Structure 1
Amino acid sequence: MGETSLRERREDRKSAQSQEPQTTRLQREVGLISGICIIVGTIIGSGIFISPKSVLSNTATVGPCLLVWVACGIIATLGALCFAELGTMITKSGGEYPYLMEAFGPIPAYLFSWTSLIVMKPSSFAIICLSFSEYVSVPFYSGCEPPQVVVKCLAAAAILLITTVNALSVRLGSYVQNFFTAAKLVIVAIIIISGMVLLAQGNTKNFENSFEGTKLSVGAISLAFYNGLWAYDGWNQLNYITEELRNPFRNLPLSIVIGIPLVAVCYILMNISYFTVMTTTELLQSQAVAVTFGDRVLYPASWVIPLFVAFSTIGAANGTCFTAGRLVYVAGREGHMLKVLSYVSVKRLTPAPAIIFYGIIATIYIIPGDINSLVNYFSFAAWLFYGMTILGLVVMRFTRKELERPIKVPIVIPILMTLISVFLVLAPIISEPTWEYLYCVLFILSGLVFYFLFVYHKFGWAQRISKPITMYLQMLMEVVPPEEEPK
């Protein structure tokens, strides 16, 4: 017994020593199931419970509304296929960042990194957590609006919890994602099955004359797509963790092909269920579409709806945090942010500094809590860079022919997606010009000032300031560079 135990201890020590070099780099621990769950869990969040009302308000009738949801699913799938080619051609984490770097060089990549780190990703995280806190607090304030202080404190607590979980363990973050994905699929199934049963019983009155009174203006269509695509946003999230995917050449495209069509089918069936229970007027007057649906169909068990909607939103927030932290990590590794943001926890093997930084910025967005402005900024900036990234795919077909392409989509797909992105960026500006879009453009371009001051020239005084900060944070958080320097 004693010899066996000693032998086991020696083997454990040898095993631990053999694994020491792995403590300084991210591990491939995300499989196919987790990849699908990240896509489904990130896309299905608060959007499907908020966007149906906005899409309908811009189309006015049931028929065009459902067509917009179908078209948005097709756009998301085509975009994800373009990103699948990019992800298997350039197997680096960080999503659009390494693709823009390869296609157009450091400046466009840095502008994307700047915009994503400061606006797009944190604002999206904040919006989802605010939606979660509103659904959680509403049952405790029956008949009145919850105080903003309560909503913001709950949102900040959600950000803190999710950031902590993802900073502690990649595997724990995946398990949390899988659990909440399963929970949100329960509420999706409840809404779909209830709606289909009522539809089969002959409740088809709201689908009669589905195209009568349709709005055909370009502005209305573009705004309908904006709101629909907001619900689908997250279709590119798996590309942010390519370096942590097991067998990415197989699992990345399979996760996309399975995950996004699954989401699209769920969204279309959920909208059909909504219209089976509510007229267009009733849906537009509803403060919370899913809650109204539950009150009419599931009473007295309607409390199930807000509970599982809260699960859905917290799952989407976890998926966003899990993937966006890798963007910060890659930006730090490329020297476009503080170097410490690219460091990996010695004990946890996670990009803890990047995740913590991401959580802090998102918490700052909670303070003003202006969700509408954040959504406008996010949508405009997101499709600007989606279009640039997919255009980069077209460019690299001619400039980087030597790159291996395990997945190669027909070139008509990226060209079509580039044109769609141009339409989505310009149409809202032309139809309803506001100062917000101009401010967003100016903010993006202001990143050039920081690029030339702190990245391109690398002034000595900036290095002298950043080095002691990096050393202090490294000791505080017990993190090291992702790759060991050769001795």
Structure 2
Amino acid sequence: MAKVSASEGLTPKAMDIGESADRESTNEGVRLKKELSLMNGVAIIVGVIVGSGIFVSPSLALKYAGSKGMALIVWILSGFLSMIGALCYAELGTMIPKSGGDYAYIGEAFGDLPAFLYLWVALFILVPTGNAITALTFAQNILKPLWPVCEPPADAVSLIAAVITCFLTALNCFNVKWVTRVQDSFTAAKILALLVTFFASLWYLFSGHTENLESMMEGTITEPGNIAIAFYTGLFSYSGWNYLNFVTEELKDPYKNLPRAICISMPVVTLVYALTNVAYFAVLTNTEILSSEAVAVTFSEKILSVVSWIMPLFVALCTFGSLNGAIYASSRLFFVGARNGHLPLAISLIDIKRLTPVPSLIFMCIVTLVLLMSNNVESLIVYVTAVEALFILCSVSGLLWLRYTRADLQRPIRVNILLPITFLIICTFLVVFSCFTHPVEVGIGVAFIALGVPVFCVFIMWKNKPYWMQNACNSFNVFCSKMFLCLPEDSKDL
């Protein structure tokens, strides 16, 4: 039985990925295990990326691009931009081999305050909002066959979304191997589903229906603000390419497997997304795409006829796997933040039997459940992507800054300096011009980031807190430790 007292302090200990091999026995210390292989890494990246975005964003991309041709260009260039970003993160991930992704890189380059601001935004905006969108998309599509001619009841959608979020959280708490098996299986299923979509469209084209691919560039919109938002919708569908960096400490041989996983998964996703959009554009008119909230379902109703129910099932499979991977990877972000003292220490505790960050998973689940009432997908996408772009910009800037200030750091991978510079220029363009078309959403995101500054000053910088506050925090940490049978990292099972 694990015994924890307030006098032990429950203080987290910093861990470097190269310190030691896996510690399976709690007598050697409690820590997360290295269980992710190369294929598991590929499955996490592909599985997280291919989620709700490809089924939600096509109509929004077309709306702001103006034409099918321009929308397709946006999708392909979004893939290339994500690939450039992923390669920059491969250098960051092997240079700073710690879990936490952007949080670890920004902290290493610029210090505690910018790192905390990323953690603050990820905690309340990036992760739970993305997870909520994915869970709602899963619920809407799993219920669609029961309401084929109308939208499923909102309460039923919210309930199913909450149930699937809780179920996957429980799975992640119980066993990492089960999580990776689910991820591998559903990643293969979702790639198959999207390929079925493409081949169905080929059959439609070979039947003589080519009218929807004529005049592909007609109606193209060239205003910079609209192009920026079109890229936002595309980049939202590719979001998740940096999630493997959140779990670097659990990846076997990360110096080799992290960049390999990125180089395998990103071209695969870009190709599959391009083929899927070609399929949509070949079968549906502009009006049909723009008026549809679920383009894949509209596609299936037009081309698959009596078996059109299969497409909502495919979408549900895709979003199920995406949500599973997102819960697994992002929980490690909050675990690392708490381990470094930027969140309540209870979130950095590890289950002594299953070696999973149970409190972090449960905390993230609660925040996601609160946001499941969100319904304006377009605003959410702009809101999330604008904020995320700011911090990805900060991370890649950190790459250049560390090359200048920390030339002594080991760099198993060193990308051409033109890649991060190109990425910075494009991201800056997107953030600046999006302010002109969606100033409210971008303004709210920036204001929320600024709100994190006083929070940091009160809860992190203020060292001489009143005794009652320190005692309350420590009592809460001990309560969570006893309730979940968890200990801080590297603690002994006493």
* TM-score (norm. length: structure 2): 0.92
Single out whichever of 354-363 and 296-305 deviates more from structure 2: 296-305
What does residue range 238-277 of structure 1 map to in structure 2 within 5 Å? 238-277=244-283
Q: How far does residue 374 in structure 1 lie from its aligned partner after superposition?
A: 3.2
Q: Is the 8 A contact 1:93 1:330 kept in 2?
A: yes
Single out whichever of 116-125 and 363-372 deviates more from structure 2: 363-372
> Which residue is equivalent to 1:8?
none
> Which residue is equivalent to 2:83?
77
2:382 aligned with 1:376, yes or no?
yes
Give 3-state SS (helix, strand or coil) of 1:327's partner. Answer: helix
Q: Is the 8 A contact 1:85 1:405 kept in 2?
A: yes
Return the alpha-carbon distance in structure 2 between the equivalents of residues 138 and 18 of structure 1.
44
Single out whichever of 118-127 and 208-217 deviates more from structure 2: 208-217
> Which residue is equivalent to 2:482?
475
Q: How far does residue 444 in structure 1 lie from its aligned partner after superposition?
A: 1.1
The letter of the residue matching 1:476 is M
Return the alpha-carbon distance in structure 1 between the equivalents of residues 483 and 166 of structure 2.
18
- Tell me which of 108, 133, 137 is aligned to 1:127: 133
Return the alpha-carbon distance in structure 1 between the equivalents of residues 361 and 28 of structure 2.
20
2:449 aligned with 1:444, yes or no?
yes
Q: How far does residue 208 in structure 1 lie from its aligned partner after superposition?
A: 2.2
Single out whichever of 367-376 and 277-286 deviates more from structure 2: 367-376
The letter of the residue matching 1:204 is T
Give 3-state SS (helix, strand or coil) of 2:305's partner. Answer: coil
The C-alpha deviation readout for 1:270-326, integer Å capped at 9, x for no partner, is 111111112222222334211122122222211111011111111111111010000
- Tell me which of 290, 301, 324 is aligned to 1:295: 301
Cα pair distance change 1:368/1:206, threshold 3 Å: closer
Q: How far does residue 70 in structure 1 lie from its aligned partner after superposition?
A: 0.8
Q: CA RMSD in A?
A: 1.8
2:434 aligned with 1:428, yes or no?
yes
> Which residue is equivalent to 1:158?
164
Q: How far does residue 66 in structure 1 lie from its aligned partner after superposition?
A: 0.9
What does residue range 315-394 of structure 1 map to in structure 2 within 5 Å? 315-367=321-373, 369-394=375-400
2:481 aligned with 1:484, yes or no?
no
Return the alpha-carbon distance in structure 1 between the equivalents of residues 183 and 116 of structure 2.
29
Give 3-state SS (helix, strand or coil) of 2:89's partner. Answer: helix
Q: How far does residue 58 in structure 1 lie from its aligned partner after superposition?
A: 1.2
What's the % identity of the aligned pairs?
A: 39
Q: Is the 8 A contact 2:246 2:330 kept in 1?
A: yes
Q: Is the 8 A contact 2:35 2:251 kept in 1?
A: yes
The letter of the residue matching 2:78 is C
> Which residue is equivalent to 1:455?
460
Return the alpha-carbon distance in structure 1 between the equivalents of residues 422 and 191 of structure 2.
32
Q: Is the 8 A contact 2:204 2:303 kept in 1?
A: no
Single out whichever of 271-280 and 398-407 deviates more from structure 2: 271-280
The letter of the residue matching 1:20 is T
Q: How far does residue 201 in structure 1 lie from its aligned partner after superposition?
A: 5.0
Q: How far does residue 184 in structure 1 lie from its aligned partner after superposition?
A: 1.1
> Which residue is equivalent to 2:5?
none
Q: How far does residue 407 in structure 1 lie from its aligned partner after superposition?
A: 0.6
Cα pair distance change 1:26/1:122, threshold 3 Å: same
Cα pair distance change 1:486/1:190, threshold 3 Å: closer
Q: Is the 8 A contact 2:29 2:493 kept in 1?
A: no
Q: How far does residue 368 in structure 1 lie from its aligned partner after superposition?
A: 5.1
Q: Is the 8 A contact 2:233 2:382 kept in 1?
A: no
Q: Is the 8 A contact 2:94 2:411 kept in 1?
A: yes
Return the alpha-carbon distance in structure 1 between the equivalents of residues 54 and 445 of structure 2.
26
Return the alpha-carbon distance in structure 2 between the equivalents of residues 18 and 479 of structure 1.
15
Return the alpha-carbon distance in structure 2 between the equivalents of residues 156 and 270 of structure 1.
29
Return the alpha-carbon distance in structure 2 between the equivalents of residues 213 and 367 of structure 1.
35
2:126 aligned with 1:139, yes or no?
no
Q: How far does residue 437 in structure 1 lie from its aligned partner after superposition?
A: 2.3
The letter of the residue matching 1:250 is K
The C-alpha deviation readout for 1:403-452, integer Å capped at 9, x for no partner, is 00001101111111111121121111123422x32222121111111211
Cα pair distance change 1:449/1:157, threshold 3 Å: same
Cα pair distance change 1:280/1:18, threshold 3 Å: closer
Return the alpha-carbon distance in structure 2 between the equivalents of residues 286 and 327 of structure 1.
35
The letter of the residue matching 2:341 is G
> Which residue is equivalent to 2:18?
none
Q: Is the 8 A contact 2:232 2:382 kept in 1?
A: no
The letter of the residue matching 1:449 is P
- Tell me which of 219, 223, 231 is aligned to 1:225: 231
Give 3-state SS (helix, strand or coil) of 1:300's partner. Answer: helix
Give 3-state SS (helix, strand or coil) of 2:202's partner. Answer: helix
2:385 aligned with 1:418, yes or no?
no
Give 3-state SS (helix, strand or coil) of 1:134's partner. Answer: helix
* TM-score (norm. length: structure 1): 0.93
What does residue range 4-83 of structure 1 map to in structure 2 within 5 Å? 19-21=25-27, 24-83=30-89
Return the alpha-carbon distance in structure 2 between the equivalents of residues 21 and 101 of structure 1.
32
Q: Is the 8 A contact 2:396 2:424 kept in 1?
A: yes
Q: How far does residue 377 in structure 1 lie from its aligned partner after superposition?
A: 2.3
Q: Is the 8 A contact 2:134 2:322 kept in 1?
A: yes
Return the alpha-carbon distance in structure 2 between the equivalents of residues 230 and 312 of structure 1.
15
Q: Is the 8 A contact 1:23 1:349 kept in 2?
A: no
Gaps of 5+ in 1: 1-16
Q: How far does residue 230 in structure 1 lie from its aligned partner after superposition?
A: 0.7
Return the alpha-carbon distance in structure 1 between the equivalents of residues 283 and 28 of structure 2.
55
Single out whichever of 190-199 and 253-262 deviates more from structure 2: 190-199
Return the alpha-carbon distance in structure 2 between the equivalents of residues 486 and 55 of structure 1.
53
> Which residue is equivalent to 2:177?
171
Q: How far does residue 21 in structure 1 lie from its aligned partner after superposition?
A: 4.0
Q: How far does residue 485 in structure 1 lie from its aligned partner after superposition?
A: 7.4
Q: How far does residue 202 in structure 1 lie from its aligned partner after superposition?
A: 4.7
Return the alpha-carbon distance in structure 1 between the equivalents of residues 213 and 375 of structure 2.
37
> Which residue is equivalent to 2:105?
99
- Tell me which of 189, 194, 210 is aligned to 1:188: 194
> Which residue is equivalent to 1:5?
none
Return the alpha-carbon distance in structure 2 between the equivalents of residues 54 and 411 of structure 1.
33
Return the alpha-carbon distance in structure 2 between the equivalents of residues 457 and 474 of structure 1.
25
The C-alpha deviation readout for 1:123-148, integer Å capped at 9, x for no partner, is 11111101111112222223332222
Single out whichever of 206-215 and 338-347 deviates more from structure 2: 206-215
Gaps of 5+ in 2: 1-22
Q: Is the 8 A contact 2:57 2:237 kept in 1?
A: yes
The letter of the residue matching 1:213 is G
